[in-house]
Amino acid sequence: MGKPTIADLAKAAGVSATTVSHAFSGRRYVDPETRKRIEALAEAIGYRPNHRARRLRTGGAGSIALVSSMPFAVAAGPSRLGFLMEIAAAAAVTAFSRGISLCLVPPLGPRDSLDALEVDGAIVVEPELDDPVLDFFFDRGVEVVSIGRAPGRDSLPFVDLQSGATAHLLLDHLLEGGGRVGLITGLQRRNSYIEMEAVYAERVAQAGLSAIAIRVDERGGEQAAAAAAERLLRDDPTISALCVPVDAFATGVLDAAGIVGRTVPHDLRLATRYDGMRARLATPPLTAVDLHLDQVAAAAVDLLLARLGQLDPAPTIVSPPSLVLRASSVLPSR
Amino acid sequence: MGKPTIADLAKAAGVSATTVSHAFSGRRYVDPETRKRIEALAEAIGYRPNHRARRLRTGGAGSIALVSSMPFAVAAGPSRLGFLMEIAAAAAVTAFSRGISLCLVPPLGPRDSLDALEVDGAIVVEPELDDPVLDFFFDRGVEVVSIGRAPGRDSLPFVDLQSGATAHLLLDHLLEGGGRVGLITGLQRRNSYIEMEAVYAERVAQAGLSAIAIRVDERGGEQAAAAAAERLLRDDPTISALCVPVDAFATGVLDAAGIVGRTVPHDLRLATRYDGMRARLATPPLTAVDLHLDQVAAAAVDLLLARLGQLDPAPTIVSPPSLVLRASSVLPSR
DNA sequence: TACCGCTTGCAAATCGTTTTGCATACGGCC
DNA sequence: GGCCGTATGCAAAACGATTTGCAAGCGGTA
């Protein structure tokens, strides 16, 4: 016969299933001695409550989804993979410590392929404007929080990536080197780009400089950025620094700089946003921002659980972003 | 009132719940016209079958786990993160295309934190000898397959990482450059290390050379490898090439080479296994092996589903590993 | 007419919990 | 002794689907 059920355990302990249930849940008083006996017996016969039955009764799936709003692997090498996966790893750890599991959800393909998914809530990473993935979950009545504000959806709860502060860190650093500073963001309308562009416009105006900002389609990856940067650098030789938040774009720019004969950082200073392997291993290594993604991920999980009523709302603390200076933007002092 | 149930739909269509169920599952004939009506009505009232109820009845969780047998992030930067996450991304896509979802499971911490996990099966990535994670799932009666053979568990189904072939590719390439070739593997007993060491011993013997092989604790990461390599290179200046399967170790060796004043590839040729971002972005870029992890991941998902009886066993094809030559092991031809 | 087989549909059991409403026992109090 | 409140436990009703066994309708055949 199969796994022992609550009825088996009840029979063994000489009580009813109700009492067993109460003994475990504590929702009603059970004689301590009875409870002890039940617990010991449960251990002995190897009883474990059936999740499926419990969930049918109580509702709730016991899991949450982590969703990328972008293709996992863009054609030429995984672009946001590092970013997403660093979050995924941290989120999985936090989720499991809270007793729920984490489903990794690939970007929306054909609608129905996601029909199998059953989760209590979802975390969407850096949604873009009118992101279809948000509608998808809304339709299903699934609670959603985002990492990074969702443009055009002010009511959606989110964990702030503090893109404004990040933008200031990067741009101030590049601007204080003097010269003309350009900006390369993504074509998609994500909050981090929007804030970055706003701060850029403001700073450039303050400094009395003209803006040089272009957008590249994320799906083009490194190559698209390299091509765009090459054009930009040829058109405008006065550019002395570039702020390139997307790390894959930044390494593309590095290639472009090589092609047009500019040395980084001497002829072109460069900084990016996400401080991942890409930034650290680039040649030269890229100045970047520590976004504390592990904390962000943990905060997102807790925020979601709080909204689901499974956790008391206790705001997790996320450290402010901090600049990590590297050779790509720092001229060696002589 | 809540979401429509099968009873609501049945009433609306003027049939019984049974008929509705059969109309969807096709397990028994229903009049095509009736079925049409049911389907149209389902769409109209927004009926979607309740997963929880279905699962209680049929058994099955509708999801599988992907498990790392190592800490996600080892102290000094994610070492195997790239490897694991590349698999995770591909596995998620394949799993969802098969109508099941993928849970990312952090390495075993306190036992009970995994109690929430409910999956039909698990994929364990490169288990080591006596890996506790395997026992954990066996205890729970969860079907397991591994990526890379599980040492000491010959009966466990697995997707071959073709470590023998990989070893031959790397070692033959390094050996044909002449000189003495050393090997740095991991202390943990994973199949890929074991096979690599075996092939190494064989090849070195064939060539009439003496073996220089050391093992480094994976948990020490890049630094530990750098320290070990530095010692090795100082002790034995005749070493002309190193085969370092762990990518994080390989970049550590790169550092060590710099410290002892060796230029790669001129004074030391270097090759690693996993062709990830680390290998590609290192300076110089590292010769590596394309393991076709996307195919491996897809094959693992399908193998698991086949074992669960949810898929007809149709062996997925995994391309043989292929060498990716890069500057770390190829002397510029003059 | 009686019988058979085929098509189509329904009622009811089942999966294993949680939870509600009721029952029993018992002690204390007037 | 009668009454009431409290402590403890049980029976039974959900939860929403799947699946089995049975039956009605119907045409064809002997």
DSSP for residue A322: E
Q: Which CATH class is domain B163-291?
A: alpha beta
Length of chain A: 334
| Paired tokens of A87 | 């979050």
Interface of A with B in 65-104 (CB under 8 A): 65-66, 72-73, 77-78, 81-82, 85-86, 88-90, 92-93, 96-97, 99-104
User: Whose structure tokens read 């099955």?
Assistant: B60
Contact A73 B89 (CB under 8 A): yes
Please name which of B319, B324, B294 lies closest in space to residue A72, comparing C-alpha atoms: B294
Contact B115 A105 (CB under 8 A): no
- Under the banding of pLDDT at 50, 70 and 90, the label for residue B276 is confident
Mean pLDDT, range A127-149, rounded to an integer: 92
Among A15-19, A180-184, B111-115, B258-262, which stretch is predicted with the lowest mean pLDDT? Answer: B111-115
Cite residues whose beta carbon is less than 7 Å from strand D: A 14-19, 28-31, 34, 53, 56-57; B 2-3, 5-7, 17-18, 21-22, 24-25, 27-28, 47, 49-50, 52-54, 56-58
Helical packing angle, B247-259 and B221-235, nearest 10°: 50
| Sequence-separated (6 or more) residues with CB below 8 Å from residue A144 | A121, A122, A123, A124, A134, A137, A138, A156
Share of chain B above pLDDT 70, in %: 94
Mean pLDDT, range A293-312, rounded to an integer: 92
Q: Could you count the other beta carbons within 10 Å of the beta carbon of residue A118?
A: 23
**pLDDT at res. B108:** 62
**pLDDT at res. B314:** 78
Q: Could you count the other beta carbons within 10 Å of the beta carbon of residue A2?
A: 6
**Ranges A236-245, B4-13, B137-146, most confident:** A236-245
Among A70-79, A153-162, A220-229, B272-281, which stretch is predicted with the lowest mean pLDDT? Answer: A70-79
CA pair distance A128, A122, nearest whole angstrom:
16
User: What is the number of H-type helices and E-type strands within chain B?
Assistant: 12, 11
Which nucleotides in chain C lie less than 7 Å from some protein C-beta?
7-12, 14-21
Q: How many CB pairs under 8 A join A and B?
A: 151
- Under the banding of pLDDT at 50, 70 and 90, the label for residue A1 is low
Secondary structure class of A68 (helix, strand, coil): strand
User: Does this chain's domain A63-161+294-307 share its CATH topology with A163-290?
Assistant: yes
Closest nt to A18 (CA→C1')?
Answer: D10
User: What is the number of H-type helices and E-type strands within chain A?
Assistant: 12, 11
DSSP B214-260: EEE-GGGHHHHHHHHHHHHHHH-TTEEEEE--SHHHHHHHHHHHHHT
Q: What is the pLDDT of residues A81-127, one digit of tens each?
A: 678 888 998 899 899 888 899 999 987 665 556 777 889 999 999 99
Q: What secondary structure, in 3-state letters, does A160-207 show?
A: CCCHHHHHHHHHHHHHCCCCEEEEEEECCCEHHHHHHHHHHHHHHHHC
User: CA at B142, C1' at C11: how many angstroms apart?
Assistant: 36
CA pair distance A145, A66, nearest whole angstrom:
10
Domains of chain B, residue spans: 6-58, 63-161+294-307, 163-291
**pLDDT: which is higher, A268 or A141:** A268
| Paired tokens of B94 | 């394949």
| Sequence-separated (6 or more) residues with CB below 8 Å from residue B52 | A52, A55, A56, A59, A61, A118
Kindly tell me if the per-residue pLDDT of B33 is higher than 90: no
CA pair distance A300, B265, nearest whole angstrom:
45
Beta strands in chain A (DSSP E): 63-68, 101-105, 121-125, 143-147, 158-159, 180-186, 213-216, 239-243, 269-274, 287-290, 322-324
- b/e map B82-97, b = 16+ CB within 10 Å: bbbbbbbbbbbbbbbe
**pLDDT at res. B60:** 84
Using the CB atom, is residue A56 less than 7 Å from strand C? Answer: yes
Contact B89 A86 (CB under 8 A): no
Beta strands in A190-266 (DSSP E): 213-216, 239-243
CATH architecture for segment(s) A6-58: Orthogonal Bundle (1.10)
Rounded (5°) CA angle B95-B100-B104? 70
Secondary structure class of A289 (helix, strand, coil): strand
Question: CB contact, 8 Å: A263 with chain B?
Answer: no
- Under the banding of pLDDT at 50, 70 and 90, the label for residue A75 is very low
A180-186 and A287-290 strand pairing: unpaired
Strand partners of residue A159:
A147
B287-290 and B143-147 strand pairing: unpaired
Q: Which chain B residues are closer than 8 Å to A78 by Cβ?
A: 86, 89, 277
Helical packing angle, A6-13 and A32-45, nearest 10°: 120
- Under the banding of pLDDT at 50, 70 and 90, the label for residue A76 is very low
**pLDDT at res. B221:** 86
Strand partners of residue A323:
A289
Alpha-carbon radius of gyration of chain B? 26
Mean pLDDT, range B188-210, rounded to an integer: 95
Nearest CA in chain B to A109: B97
Name the residue with the least CA to C1' distance from nucleotide C20.
A18
**pLDDT at res. B78:** 47
Mean pLDDT (chain B) is 90
Mean pLDDT, range A312-334, rounded to an integer: 88
**pLDDT at res. A312:** 79
Closest nt to A7 (CA→C1')?
Answer: C16
Mean pLDDT, range A172-197, rounded to an integer: 95
Q: What is the pLDDT of residues B59-97, one digit of tens each?
A: 888 899 999 876 554 433 445 567 888 899 889 989 988
| Paired tokens of A45 | 């016969």
CATH for A163-290? 3.40.50.2300
Mean pLDDT, range A276-285, rounded to an integer: 90
What's the fold here for domain A63-161+294-307?
Rossmann fold (3.40.50)
Among A34-48, B69-83, B154-168, which stretch is predicted with the lowest mean pLDDT? Answer: B69-83
**pLDDT at res. A78:** 47
Helical packing angle, A293-307 and A81-97, nearest 10°: 50
Mean pLDDT (chain A) is 90
Contact indicator for B13, B37 with CB cutoff of 8 Å = yes
CA pair distance A66, A122, nearest whole angstrom:
6
Tell me how close the Cα of A80 comes to any Cα of chain B, in angstroms.
11
CA pair distance A286, A265, nearest whole angstrom:
10
- Distance, CA of B95 to chain centre: 14
Kindly tell me if the per-residue pLDDT of B315 is higher than 80: no
Exposed, middle or buried: residue A72 (CB in 10 Å: 0-12, 13-18, 19+)?
A: buried
Contact A61 B53 (CB under 8 A): no
**pLDDT at res. B75:** 33
